[in-house]
Structure 1
Amino acid sequence: MFIIYLIILFKLINGEISIRPPGIGKNNSIYILSLNSPLQLDCEVEYGDFDDIEDINALEWVRGKMKIGNNWLSIYTQPKIDEKRRWLRQSLYIPKITEQNSGEYKCLFFDDLQKTINLFILKNLEWKTKINKIGAQIGQPLTINCGAENIPDEAIQILDSKGRAIEEVLDEVLVTGAEITLTKIGKEHKGLKIRCVAVRPINLKNLGLSEDLDINSVDSVHTDELDLIIDVWIPPKFDDHFSSSNHRHYAIPGSKQLLRWTITESNPPVKIWTLNKDGEILIEKEKIKIIQNLNETTKPFFAVLIENVQDEDYGRYTLTAHNGILESHQTQTLVITR
């Protein structure tokens, strides 16, 4: 065992630890991160034949005096070995950065090779748009504010999902500072992704670096992103297929009559129906049955079945469909015939 250890030490003379992606500042050892963002750092060592090593966890991540395990929840490691390429990797994962993750970390190989990094956590920007899904009624203009508090407009970029300037991709779009306006949104804009990018300068001296890190360190910038999705609101649209010309139905007293309304299009989907007869809300009662379906996988419909038409049943039936944002209505008239 001692001989194997000496062999490993001899190989370590030419070994080197690298961490990817590299950081900034002195020795590329400083990482500036945003709250709630994910982090993956790959620590690799190359030195020769790994057949001498029985435990691939000989390469390890350490914080303070504690080794970071591979079964932790908020922070964990994952080893990988490639004997053909003669490298060993230990990846550090932090799925969601918190302020408690700031500080010094070391990647060690048999305590003989090591590389130290420092994580600094920035508070998230306060974006002026607080929601990720923004919309307007079809045919209307839509203004999107990509600004952030304490960030000048000239430090804001507005891009599409592929990183292209939005004004180069969309027609009829106006850019004013950190705002863009689509002069008339249509169905083609539904689901369109907008990336708001803020570039803020970082003075490393203000991070409270230790003296050894502060030497030769340079200022940097940090990029924050906000992803927005455009929604196009469409008022409920009624289908005329189930109603006759001018929405008039003729019924003989004592007969059975069905009045049906079907929605062919709505965004968001219809959520609420309201039925009025001659200006008063109509509810289900004896001889009148109300049937409704709000299933989003089929066309929503609302129907009134009158089992035995009487004089009081003739008149105007107005159904209002509301999708939570917009509403539409359609009137069908039941007319007496002899």
Structure 2
Amino acid sequence: MYKRSFLGGGLGLFGALALTAPAFADTSVSDLIAETESDSTGQVTSVSQLSDVQPTDWAFQALQSLVERYGCIAGYPNGTFRGNRSATRYEMAAALNACLDQISDRFASKADLDAVKALQDEFAAELATLRGRVDGLEARVDTVEAQQFSTTTKLEGSVIGTIQFGDQTDVDGGIGSSRASALAEVGLTFNTSFTGEDLLQITLLTGNGGNDFFGEFFDAGGGLAGGTVNPGAIEYRDTGPGVELDRLAYEFSPVENLSVTIGPQLYPSDFIDGNSYANDPGADFNSGFFINNALIINDAVDDPGGAGFGFNYNVGGGPLSLRAGYVAAAGGSAVEGATETEGLFGDPHQAV
């Protein structure tokens, strides 16, 4: 098929050359063969490299196809094609054979096609299975792309539960009893990155609103006193049943080795406590009791969290880091309270 097509277009060019005077009177067969072979002096890759070929020439498109598509025409060493000189039938045969040899190196032969057809017949069942699997994968990819949450936001979820039972003695020596109870918290975190090096984090929490006996005390008469120290209290006590905003903070790096975080809901322990036994309810003891940084004001500031900022500067990318943070628990309040100043720079707040 391809040979017949080539002869239809290619012989038109060679026939035209033969009818055009003057002829290739001084061109030998070896010269014409050299013209079609890929030698280092005459091979061209674009018809524009032939100085005596113009787009207005009647055979320009045919010559362009032979040069740029099939790569079987070369010019003379001086960069000319000499298209107005004719060739003998022997020279045409030599040139055509050289050109077909060049083409046969680029396309499969009939024997090659027969071999491929035999392999297709032999592995028809396997090919059908693979085709079905590829179609299935494409359908699943289309579904994922159509239903994806966001191209910049990843959604993480967590469910944490605790079952407790036991007795407790309060700080005044009173003894009370507590029944078995179950506490639960469900969290959804949206991690959004706009540049790949920043993080906007939004966390929503809810739960069953349970109370743990570690966070409550009994008075001398055995009644609940509601302690203020809360030793060992579980972090997610009293969470829910409504949905609350646990975190809204944006972290970015203005310069190398410096990370800055700012937001209306974050915590001092984010910046100044690296304790591996605290600050991660999904992996640790879920209690502020294990926070090992005495500088953190736990109940008044770190427990509720608030508005503020913090930074972490890793000096020279080495083992030394400088960290600082400021959080105002009542930073969202513009109205002065009865006993506290409140507001972003009022009490209660913490700067470390």
Settle same-fold status: TM greater than 0.5: no
More helix by share: 2
Higher relative contact order (CA 8 A, sep 6+): 1
Bigger Rg, structure 1 or 2: 2
